[in-house]
């Protein structure tokens, strides 16, 4: 029988950060997922939900005694060690100095090193912790990842990757000889395709290719947690732009695509951006000229883009929509704009399109306002939506008394309470993420005034509620969306919608993309949400700027520098980009998208059978 996990030097815990570091160490040692910890706690008669466990390990808020006690016991610690954890918590609470160790003997203990990224976990005791039996598949996956580790703490087979918090983060350079499963099995096939294309792009040596990075949160912190639904379509879309570029006859340079993983919730954004700076070295062989994707509209993305901007690296966002993510507003240096463009329409543009559709305005309205992510960091997408909704407040008769704040870290119970209090409100602005909106829709379906029609307006993240992406909302008996006895509608403006793109006369750019996408044997249902489309267009925008920078250069193997690419990125207002989402330009002042032939149009869910997506 394996011994219980014991974290050394608990007596040295002085601060909340110390305590959290030790909890993180215990989590690694246990080898358990958050789901298993929750199950073990429940079996023991205690309660520590996955969100709470994650917040204790990865968050920044206070840690309560009862959840901590349940957490450490669920991890399998002994009763004696459990008491040491409680004593450590008490010291943090009262701010008392820890007991000095070894003072009577004069021995000095070596201070414990900071976590380096090495995986440190022990196999669960199958007999003492029966709940671990259910994680066979998780352990197998963990073993696979463990095999990939180097003693240095790196993972995969590249120096720009490291293992931390059970994730491989940093920058992968896919190639045929590299391991395509470094970011997990869901991305393995597309990583292999990118690797094959990279080998083709680089076969003639330096000077014939340029490197473009696609950066996003590509892994989950918990093996039991599904990947973000954007992840796979985004990387597939980026690959489609690469293969399109490399099969465009007579165009140079070829494009090598590297993949930067910021980790779950973008916590490890620094590990993702640091290697990218090294790849910009003009004397090196990488010749990185742009970073695309960039992540979600949240605080970590702002920090990552500001870090890249200080290194003068051109950037193109694919799904960033928060209003302040512009060249000037997002800049960390006053008066200096960053080299940033985005192919997604802003939150204000989205709501302007919806406002036209909602006239005349409803009699009653409310705002459910979200400001933080589930990890507790600032969610600029949600905050920007709330601010935009407030600007439309007078027009939509939104009163101050109809304001409901909501923090995702507190669980979904508050959404039930809000739904109970809405009465016969006709319109609700929901400023949070779609994963929280799904819980809110379930709460609305069970509210007392359920027979009264209600419309929920949200941001582009509402694409996750499409039938192909969230079949659970449509398949119940009765369904959450589409129940005639409980009329609920969701209205949002998509970043790219296949039905709308096909409806525009002469629009063959999307059809060509769809044909190529399915020819690559990617599922057409990926396209319903638009994430594959915008990822393609972000990479395509970077490629357009890179190639324009060498358009009239006759010197063989000459490549532009970062400033040359940035110049061209600012000159795409007139020339434009032939994207999968249509022909568009980039505003030279803000870096925002300018639609040319496909104006923003709202979508109302549930869609009628005649206008539903691929999975209907």
Is the N-terminal amide bond of 360 cis, ω within 30° of 0?
A: yes
Are both 161-345+527-595 and 349-494 of the same fold?
yes
Average pLDDT over residues 286-306: 95
pLDDT band at residue 390, thresholds of 50, 70 and 90? Answer: confident
Determine the Cα–Cα distance for residues 115 and 117; give it in Å rounded to an integer.
6
What 3-state DSSP class applies to 159? coil
414 falls in which pLDDT band (50, 70, 90)?
very high
Residue 97 to residue 608: CA distance in whole angstroms:
65
Q: What are the angstrom distances between the C-alpha of 352 and each of 327, 343, 488, 500, 607?
A: 22, 18, 22, 17, 21
Binned at pLDDT 50, 70 and 90, residue 335 comes out as low
Eight-class DSSP state of 412: S
The mean pLDDT value for 596-613 works out to 79
| Backbone φ/ψ region at 429: left (φ over 0), alpha (ψ -120 to 50), beta | beta
pLDDT of residue 138 exceeding 50, the answer is no
Say how far apart CA 37 and CA 47 lie, in whole Å: 10
Q: Show Cβ contacts of residue 551 under 8 Å, excluding neighbours closer than 6 positions.
A: none
User: What number of CA atoms fall less than 13 Å from residue 146's CA on the CB side?
Assistant: 13
Q: What is the pLDDT of residue 396?
A: 59
pLDDT, residue 293, reads: 98
Tokens found for residue 113: 């090193």
Query: Which of helix, strand or coil describes residue 423?
Result: coil
Contact yes or no for 174/191 (Cβ under 8 A): yes
Weakest mean pLDDT among 75-89, 109-123, 586-600: 109-123
pLDDT at 143 over 80: no
pLDDT for 219 equals 94
Tell me the pLDDT tens digit for each residue of 420-445: 999 999 999 999 999 999 999 999 99
Q: What is the pLDDT of residue 117?
A: 37
Contact call for residues 277 and 271 (beta carbons, < 8 A): no
349-494, CATH topology level: Rossmann fold (3.40.50)
For residue 156, what is the DSSP state? T
Q: How confident is the model over 512-521, as pLDDT tens digits?
A: 999 999 999 9
Model-level pTM? 0.76
pLDDT score of 247 more than 90: yes
Q: How sure is the predictor about 575, in pLDDT bands with cuts at 50, 70 and 90?
A: confident
- Rounded CA gap, 20 and 447, in Å? 39
Q: Where are the domains of the chain?
A: 16-94, 161-345+527-595, 349-494
Question: According to the model, what pLDDT value does residue 141 have?
Answer: 41
Q: What pLDDT sits at residue 263?
A: 95
In 196-328 the beta strands, taken as DSSP E runs, fall at 209-216, 254-261, 288-293, 315-317
Decide if pLDDT at 613 tops 90. no
Query: Quick one: which of 97, 36, 41, 114 has its CA closest to 73?
Result: 41
Phi-psi region of 113 (alpha: psi -120 to 50; beta: other; left: phi over 0): beta
Which CATH number does 161-345+527-595 carry? Answer: 3.40.50.2300
Buried b (16+ CB within 10 A) or exposed e, 212-250: bbbbbbbbbbbbbeebbbbbbbbbbbbbbbbbbbbeeee
How far is the first Cα of the chain from the last one, in angstroms, to the nearest whole number?
Answer: 52
Asked whether the beta carbons of 616 and 609 are under 8 A apart, the reply is yes
Residue range 50-105, pLDDT digits in tens? 778 888 887 777 898 888 999 999 999 988 888 899 989 988 887 655 443 333 33
Residue 361, pLDDT > 80, answer no
Please list the alpha-helical segments (H only) found in 363-426. 380-391, 413-421
Cα separation, 31 vs 120, in Å, equals 8
Q: Mean pLDDT in the chain?
A: 85
pLDDT in tens, 18-54: 899 899 889 888 888 887 898 888 888 888 887 788 8
pLDDT, mean of residues 393-419:
81
d(CA 91, CA 10): 11
Least confident interval from 85-89, 105-109, 137-141, 458-462: 105-109
Shortest CA distance to 375 belongs to which of 220, 506, 497? 220
What single DSSP character describes residue 378?
B
The residue with tokens 């209090």 is: 421
**488-492 β-sheet, strand order:** 398-406, 365-370, 427-430, 454-457, 488-492, 603-605
- Taking the alpha carbons of 335, 340, 343, 346 in that order, is the dihedral positive or negative? negative
Query: Of the given ranges (153-167, 242-256, 263-277), which has the lowest mean pLDDT?
Result: 153-167
Residue 609: phi and psi, rounded to 5, are: -55, -30
Q: How confident is the model at residue 178 (pLDDT cuts 50, 70, 90)?
A: confident
Per-residue pLDDT of 205-245, as tens digits, reads: 999 999 999 999 999 987 677 889 999 999 999 999 999 99
Pair of tokens at residue 22: 């030790």
Higher pLDDT, 543 or 359: 543
DSSP line for 334-373? TT---SEEESSPPHHHHHHHHHHHTPSPPS-EEEEEE-B-
Q: Strand 315-317 and strand 254-261: pairing? A: unpaired
CA dist., res. 147 & res. 27, Å (int)? 20
Least confident of 119-123, 290-294, 337-341, 375-379: 119-123
User: Which SS3 state, helix, strand or coil, does residue 266 take?
Assistant: helix
CB 524 within 8 A of CB 515: no
Model confidence at 505, pLDDT cuts 50, 70, 90, reads low
Give me 44's structure tokens.
């023991």
- Asked whether the predicted pLDDT for residue 122 surpasses 70, the reply is no
pLDDT greater at residue 111 or residue 475: 475
> Are the C-beta atoms of residues 73 and 82 closer than 8 Å to each other?
yes
Do 162 and 271 meet the contact criterion of CB atoms below 8 Å apart? yes
Tell me the two tokens of residue 527. 């396209």
Closest CA to 245 of 565, 4, 580, 614: 580
Quickly state the pLDDT bin for 334 (edges 50, 70, 90): low
Work out the percent of the chain whose per-residue pLDDT is above 90: 55
The two tokens of residue 148 are: 């990939």
Contacts (Cβ under 8 Å, ≥6 apart) of 608:
none
């Amino acid at each position: 029988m394996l011994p219980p996990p014991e974290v050394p030097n608990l007596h040295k815990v002085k601060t909340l950060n110390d305590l959290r570091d030790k909890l993180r160490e215990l989590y690694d040692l246990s080898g358990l997922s958050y789901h298993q910890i929750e199950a073990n706690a429940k079996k023991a008669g205690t309660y520590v939900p996955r969100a709470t466990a994650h917040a204790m390990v990865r968050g920044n808020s206070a840690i309560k005694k009862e959840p901590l006690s349940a957490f450490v016991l669920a991890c399998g610690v002994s009763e004696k060690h459990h008491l040491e954890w409680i004593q450590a918590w008490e010291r943090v609470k009262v701010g008392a100095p820890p007991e000095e160790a070894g003072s009577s003997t004069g021995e000095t203990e070596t201070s414990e090193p900071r976590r380096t990224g090495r995986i440190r976990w022990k196999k669960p005791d199958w007999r003492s912790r029966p709940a671990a039996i259910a994680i066979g598949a998780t352990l197998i996956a963990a073993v696979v990842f463990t095999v990939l580790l180097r003693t240095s703490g790196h993972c995969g087979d590249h120096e720009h990757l490291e293992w931390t918090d059970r994730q491989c983060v940093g920058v992968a350079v896919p190639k045929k000889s590299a391991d395509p499963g470094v970011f997990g099995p869901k991305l393995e096939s597309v990583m292999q395709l990118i690797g094959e294309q990279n080998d083709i792009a680089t076969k003639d040596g330096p000077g014939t290719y340029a490197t473009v990075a696609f950066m996003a949160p590509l892994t989950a912190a918990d093996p039991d947690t599904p990947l973000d639904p954007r992840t796979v379509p985004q990387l597939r879309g980026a690959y489609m732009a690469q293969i399109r570029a490399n099969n465009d006859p007579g165009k140079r340079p070829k494009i090598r695509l590297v993949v930067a993983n910021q980790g779950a919730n973008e916590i490890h954004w620094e590990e993702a951006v640091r290697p990218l700076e090294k790849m910009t070295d003009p004397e090196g062989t990488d010749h990185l000229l742009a970073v695309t994707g960039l992540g979600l509209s949240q605080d970590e993305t702002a920090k990552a883009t500001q870090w890249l901007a200080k290194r003068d690296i051109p950037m193109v966002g694919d799904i960033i929509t928060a209003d302040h993510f512009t060249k000037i507003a997002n800049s960390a240096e006053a008066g200096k704009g960053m080299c940033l463009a985005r192919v997604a329409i802003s939150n204000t543009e989205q709501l302007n399109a919806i406002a036209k559709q909602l006239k005349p305005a409803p009699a009653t309205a409310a705002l459910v306002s979200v400001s933080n992510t589930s990890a507790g960091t600032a969610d600029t997408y949600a905050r920007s939506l709330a601010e935009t909704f407030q600007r439309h407040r007078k027009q939509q008769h939104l009163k101050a008394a109809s304001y409901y704040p909501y923090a995702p870290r507190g669980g979904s119970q508050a959404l039930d309470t809000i739904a109970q209090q809405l009465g016969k409100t006709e319109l609700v602005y929901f400023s949070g993420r779609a994963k929280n909106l799904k819980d809110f829709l379930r709460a609305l379906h069970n509210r007392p005034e359920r027979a009264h029609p209600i419309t929920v307006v949200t941001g582009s993240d509402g694409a996750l509620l499409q039938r192909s992406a969230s079949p659970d909302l449509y398949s119940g008996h009765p369904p959450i969306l589409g129940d005639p006895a409980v009329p609920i509608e969701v209205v949002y403006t998509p970043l790219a919608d296949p039905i709308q793109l096909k409806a525009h006369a002469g629009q063959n750019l999307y059809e060509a993309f769809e044909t190529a996408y399915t020819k690559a044997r990617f599922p057409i249902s990926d396209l319903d949400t638009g994430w594959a489309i915008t990822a393609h267009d972000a990479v395509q925008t970077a490629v357009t700027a890179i190639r324009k920078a060498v358009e009239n250069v006759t010197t063989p193997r000459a490549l532009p520098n970062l400033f040359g690419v940035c110049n061209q990125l600012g000159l795409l207002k007139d020339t434009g980009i032939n994207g999968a989402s249509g022909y568009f330009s980039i505003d030279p002042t803000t870096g925002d998208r300018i639609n040319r032939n496909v104006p923003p149009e709202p979508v109302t869910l549930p869609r009628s059978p005649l206008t539903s997506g691929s999975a209907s």
